[in-house]
Amino acid sequence: MPPKKRPALSKTSGNESKRKKTVMKLEEKVKVLDVLKEGKSFAVVGRYFNVNESTVRYIKKKEAEIRKSVSMSYFGSAKTVATVQDKTIVKMESALVFWIKDCWKKNVPLDSNIICEKA
């Protein structure tokens, strides 16, 4: 005789969507690091920014990479830190972003081919 299956413990019907994964922007991570420098505990900072204490500890562990990334080229909407080996690539990408934003201001139509040529 096969074992009986247990009923699900949750009272929901299973039609609810999963919780969305949120990623902090670099700007927010720098604010977390600044608050930590003031002497606040990891738990207090986590509650203030509505993130887990382990997330705050991880941000503190990666402090050097986060601050370096922000100082090299800062974009307010950036969410991740990417380490690049060649500094000429970083300069080229910064110049390319500046050019793209300038084209947007002038209402110049852009597509991926034009951007690749410019790069």
What pLDDT sits at residue 36? 92
What pLDDT sits at residue 54? 92
What pLDDT sits at residue 106? 87
Q: What is the dihedral of CA 69, 70, 75, 80, to 10 degrees?
A: 50
pTM of the model: 0.50
23-81 to CATH, choices 3.40.50, 1.10.3470, 1.10.10, 1.10.1740:
1.10.10
What pLDDT sits at residue 77? 55
Nearest to 51 by CA among 25, 77, 80, 17: 25
What pLDDT sits at residue 14? 57
Q: Split the chain (119 residues) into runs of 10 and give each run's mean pLDDT.
A: 66 64 84 91 91 92 86 60 67 85 86 82
Each domain of the chain, given as residue ranges in start order, spans: 23-81, 84-119
